[in-house]
Structure 1
Amino acid sequence: MRIRNRSVLTLLATSVLLTAAAPPPDARVTLVDAMAEELQRNQQQLKLRNHEAPYFISYQLKDTDQAVLIARYGSIFLDDTSRHRRLYVDTRVGAYDFDNSGPEEYAFYGAPGTSYVVNKDGPLDDSPLALRTALWLATDEKYKASLSQLLKKKGEHVYMVEDPNRPPSFSREKPVRSVQPPLAFPFDRARWSRVARELSARFAPYPELFDSEVRITADKVTRLFVSTEGSRIVSEEVMYGLHVTAVTRAEDGQLLNSARNYYAPTEAGLPDEKALDVAATRVIEELRALRQAPAIDPYTGPAILAPEAAGVLFHEAVGHRLEGDRQDGEGEGKTFRGQVGKAVLPAFLSIVDDPTLRTLQGEPLNGFYEYDEEGVKGQRTVLVDKGVLKSYLLSRRPVEGFLQSNGHGRSQGSAKPVARMANLIVESTKQVDDAELKRQLIAEARRQGRPYGLIIRDITGGNTNTSSYGYQAFKGVPRMVFRVDVKTGEESLVRGVEIVGTPLSAINRIQVTGRKSGIFNGFCGAESGHVPVSTVAPALLLQEIELQRTQEGKDRPPLLPRPTDADAPSKEAR
């Protein structure tokens, strides 16, 4: 009896230990299960009488946690945390070959009977029923809009000439099952508050720098995705950002700014205080130098673009025009449509886009992800090989000759995914070192009869127009531009210009590249919102580049000097 009792006690104790050690249920998986249940219900039952049922439905929930600290003049101006959940529902009517999708699908809410727009927020409480209810209402709205759009699309095709090469409306993809482990999301608010105050106070001794800001952000996005094809994905992305900016005015009133921007997938990956102090010093030195630099006249001639500036050139002039969604639709310029297999760049240049790269040269890349917003695994894609166009950036919207997605359907929040860049990498087989690059710049400027060439060492960003309703052009906004005298090789800082040009003309004037590649991390804004991207490129020597004069500000600087402690009234006066 004793032995049996002792055995029972031992077994009970073991059971208690096993129960205590069991991990808590994953709320993410619980919500995915709820999404899948509502998906199945709608797939089986959702249908308007005498009309087609949806052939495809997908649900996406993005759960975003964010912390933001902003400091100016040595004080905290914003200390905020927020959390929101946003839903995106894709409901397609018809078939993979021909469905409701198309460039006009954004016009749903102008139709009769759409007097109410469903809220696309998801519940912050982990309530499966509340989530299913939100999805139910959003699905009903989207199905009716999709059905209406399909009927309109069929009507329009009555008048259109049949295109034998028309690609399907939607690609067929294999279902994916993936649950990524949760990512840590620490944020040492006390430490970063102190860093932000101290760093923003560094600008106080320089009254000519009349405004400045230090912004520190931490973002975590948990994404849940399910589709009627059988995909179930749970993924998480974490990104920290630190931005130091300051502004001043030149004597002629032109507004000048300088900045340092840092991104990292971990809190520890942000720069330490020593590195940030160096960064602030450089921002101060650059702005003080720019205030004294002469404004340059519009320029057409040879120039070297440093790696970051070269990356922006390729992003704006080439990358956006290789996005698959831009190869169709009457509103697009279709710069590279029908060019697959043809030379579009100098033969020594190749371009790939690779969202699978987390880091390069020891530096994190903003454009990394495992699965895109359409549930397709991100894939390394060769876009241009030795100057010859090979492929496009593809979402699940097929392009003539390319019927499968390569995992580049991306979006911000609840926007509709479209083909977007991730990590755009430019490779060159015609490389020289920096000294030779400068020597060739001087030689080319001398050959053209120019008194100087230009070196663009830094750039704030750019933009481009790809529509058929305007000129096919791009613009870059350089920050640190140096004029190189062809006689002495001396470099002198100038200001007041921005890069402009047409894409095919600009990229085919690249003569040679540097050996070292630089990484430009940032965010790109387009139809589907702002998404994190990276561009990797070497320095370029362009035979010709055009710079136009920037908008000339004539504003006066602040009339009074910055207030100081000495300006405070004395106790006696109070």
Structure 2
Amino acid sequence: MKKFSRSWRDLRIVVLALAVTVGCAATPTRADGGADGADSSQGPQQRAVIVDAMKAELERSSKKLKLDDYEAPYFIAYKVEDSESKSVGGKFGAIVTDDDSRSRTAYVEVRVGDYQFDNYANVATENYRFSEYAADRTLPLEADPTAIRGALWLLTDETYKKALSSYLSKKGGAVFETKEKMETPSFSKEEPSTYKGDIAALEFDEAKWRKAIKSVTKSILDADGLLDADMSVSARRTVTYFVNTEGSTVVQDSVIYSIQLQSWARADDGMMLENARSFYARTPDKLPEISTVRAEAKEMVAELEQLRKAPALDPYTGPAILLPEASGVLFHEAIGHRLEGERQRDQEEGRTFKGRVGEEVIPTFLSVYDDPTLSNWNDTQLNGYYKFDDEGIPAERVELVEDGVLRSFLKSRTPIEGSLESNGHGRAQGIQKPMARMGNLIVKADPKKAVSYDELKKRLLAEVKKQKKPFGLIIRDISGGSTNTSGYGYQAFKGSTRLVYKVDPETGKETLVRGVEVVGTPLTAINKIVAASKDTGVFNGYCGAESGYVPVSAVAPALLTTEVELQRTQQSKERSPLLPAPWKAGEEEAKSDGVKEKESEAVKE
């Protein structure tokens, strides 16, 4: 039975529904005010000062902030995000980056009107006003109540004026909207939350990782055809403070450690090739041993060399197996983003699943749910774990699709038609406005219908013969994907592949190919899936959308589809470096001298 063990694949997923498309201490640092060099500004007393300052300014604004003859705010929320990161990176056996950063930013939300209709109402009217001054979104790093309140005061004033202007404009624009559209409230009513989590330690052994980076990057220099390769190790802690006028107070820590390996080479035809490994964990003990990282680095560059020699594949459609890395990206792009709540009420979105609750939307042997409350999947820690979202709402497991039938959507506090309450998926990076986003997306196959990987491959070969195709495909690794969810243009997605294999229908032999990426339309691609494996794979990464980049995870089985479409990868083709790498120059010169010596001996004879 095949096990899918590469749980560290980097899932960098970007939604094209936008307008487009750190020195470290030698000993571990702690965040609990301990005696071993911990940052005292993260201790419990300092945190209490920050929360008290936020509450004091919030109370003052809620009671007194009002422009004469205009509406006062009915809701105000403050979110402060305190981030600390440490990272070291290197290449060619040496350290090239050593960074230590700290920032504290604030997001202020002010709502004018009421829960039914406010300045965030979904009406396509917006006021833009140029100003020579904008309040700073950064807050003092010191736990100084006066300085913190001063920054929040300016932000609240500016945000209130913008909110009031938008509310009046949208109130005028509402005369053109249908009654049905106006019946959906602007904001959900929720019970206040109170939570103060444990202070998480940020441990970073700089000496250990500097040594590891030098050793690992030096160990792969002898790889044939290697153009460039690097390794970086980072630790990032984010402390989120949240208060609002409904009475919520939430303080929680999030820590993510990562190891990134990346390598590049050029094929003989000039095509740039890339391969990578990513390891994520929430605690340092869950990162792989250095020996494992070194072995993975060697395997990474060996795969890259195989890619250099592999033939480029022409555009193709045919049966394929998508291993968990690829099937997770497929569901993230084709299904997950289209189930985000805000997209159901935005007229500019494609709204693929609007009004389809209770209908069959994917094959009936598959179910999909999102559960941010899952901290682990077996022995793997999940990036998408959190207890409260960025609107202070407790995280919930949401059954999105059950036995192929659509059941619900991912929701923030922006209500959608027929579903007015949040389910704890309002997420954002830094100063961005929260919106419904994925956390831990789980694709589950009916255990009575799931098969072993060997059986999945047998079915692939049978399907290839049935369709009379020259070969099938196995997509083993994928670096990420993108999707267009907007109503303007085509509903489509793309997956950037790393390792794709042609499979001979007679022998089952797998041959590595390069130069292609997966493309398709969401519903068509998903509904061509005919089988799934029993085993699943886990991968962690970050997902980018309108509310910024947030950590996510995906769990998925391998999937067999009767048809996948591959198009050529768009890449420039350039010459490789004219001289050999310096560490290979002596070897090349020795070979050259050897050839010349043999030629000289032949002439003498």
Q: TM-score range by the shorter chain?
A: over 0.9
The answer as to whether partners of 1:253 and 1:552 remain within 8 angstroms in 2 is no
Match of 2:274 among 236, 239, 257: 257
Structure 2: how far apart are the matches of 1:478 and 1:207? Answer: 22
Give the 3 Å change call, closer, same or farther, for CA 558–565 of structure 1 in structure 2. closer
Match of 1:324 among 318, 338, 341: 341
Give the 3 Å change call, closer, same or farther, for CA 207–290 of structure 1 in structure 2. closer
Aligned to 1:274: 291
Structure 2: how far apart are the matches of 1:130 and 1:552? Answer: 50
The answer as to whether partners of 2:125 and 2:169 remain within 8 angstroms in 1 is no
1:231 is displaced (CA, Å) by 0.3
| 1:414-493 aligned within 5 A | 414-429=431-446, 430-493=449-512
Is 1:37 matched with 2:56? yes
Is 1:95 matched with 2:132? no
Taking structure 2 as the reference length, the TM-score comes to 0.88
The answer as to whether partners of 1:105 and 1:149 remain within 8 angstroms in 2 is no
| 1:8-87 aligned within 5 A | 26-87=45-106
Match of 2:537 among 504, 507, 518: 518
Is 1:306 matched with 2:323? yes
Tell me which amino acid in the other structure corresponds to 1:385. E
Match of 1:545 among 546, 557, 564: 564
| 1:115-514 aligned within 5 A | 115-163=132-180, 166-206=183-223, 208-429=225-446, 430-514=449-533
The answer as to whether partners of 1:176 and 1:233 remain within 8 angstroms in 2 is yes
Amino-acid identity (%): 50
The answer as to whether partners of 1:65 and 1:82 remain within 8 angstroms in 2 is yes
CA deviation vs aligned residue, 1:466-491 (integer Å, no higher than 9, x gap): 01112100000111111111111111
The answer as to whether partners of 1:165 and 1:400 remain within 8 angstroms in 2 is no
Structure 1: how far apart are the matches of 2:70 and 2:330? Answer: 49
Structure 2: how far apart are the matches of 1:105 and 1:36? Answer: 33
CA deviation vs aligned residue, 1:39-95 (integer Å, no higher than 9, x gap): 000000000010000000000111100011110111111101010000000000000
The answer as to whether partners of 2:373 and 2:397 remain within 8 angstroms in 1 is yes
Give SS of 2:176's match.
coil
1:207 is displaced (CA, Å) by 5.3
1:203 is displaced (CA, Å) by 2.4
Tell me which amino acid in the other structure corresponds to 1:490. K
Tell me which amino acid in the other structure corresponds to 1:75. A
Which is further off, 382-391 or 552-561? Answer: 552-561
Aligned to 1:111: 129
CA deviation vs aligned residue, 1:99-135 (integer Å, no higher than 9, x gap): 0004679965x325x3321110011011011000000
What are the ranges of 5 or more consecutive residues in structure 2 without an aligned counterpart? 1-42, 587-605
- 4+ residue segments displaced more than 6 Å: none
Structure 2: how far apart are the matches of 1:356 and 1:203? Answer: 39
Which fold has the larger relative contact order, with Cα–Cα distance below 8 Å and residues 6 or more apart in sequence? 2
Tell me which amino acid in the other structure corresponds to 2:339. L
The answer as to whether partners of 1:207 and 1:561 remain within 8 angstroms in 2 is no
1:270 is displaced (CA, Å) by 1.1
Give the 3 Å change call, closer, same or farther, for CA 358–25 of structure 1 in structure 2. closer
Structure 2: how far apart are the matches of 1:476 and 1:135? Answer: 42
Tell me which amino acid in the other structure corresponds to 2:466. R
Give the 3 Å change call, closer, same or farther, for CA 56–449 of structure 1 in structure 2. same
1:227 is displaced (CA, Å) by 0.4
Give the 3 Å change call, closer, same or farther, for CA 88–105 of structure 1 in structure 2. farther
Give the 3 Å change call, closer, same or farther, for CA 177–91 of structure 1 in structure 2. same
Give the 3 Å change call, closer, same or farther, for CA 207–493 of structure 1 in structure 2. closer
1:266 is displaced (CA, Å) by 1.0
Give SS of 2:525's match.
helix
The answer as to whether partners of 2:49 and 2:144 remain within 8 angstroms in 1 is no
Structure 1: how far apart are the matches of 2:77 and 2:391? Answer: 8
Structure 1: how far apart are the matches of 2:181 and 2:426? Answer: 26
Is 1:528 matched with 2:547? yes
Give the 3 Å change call, closer, same or farther, for CA 423–105 of structure 1 in structure 2. farther
Taking structure 1 as the reference length, the TM-score comes to 0.92
Q: How many residues align?
A: 542
The answer as to whether partners of 2:195 and 2:251 remain within 8 angstroms in 1 is yes
What are the ranges of 5 or more consecutive residues in structure 1 without an aligned counterpart? 1-23, 568-574
1:225 is displaced (CA, Å) by 0.6
Structure 1: how far apart are the matches of 2:504 and 2:530? Answer: 20
Give SS of 2:142's match.
coil
Structure 1: how far apart are the matches of 2:486 and 2:231? Answer: 36
Give SS of 2:524's match.
helix
Give SS of 1:441's match.
helix
Structure 1: how far apart are the matches of 2:125 and 2:100? Answer: 32
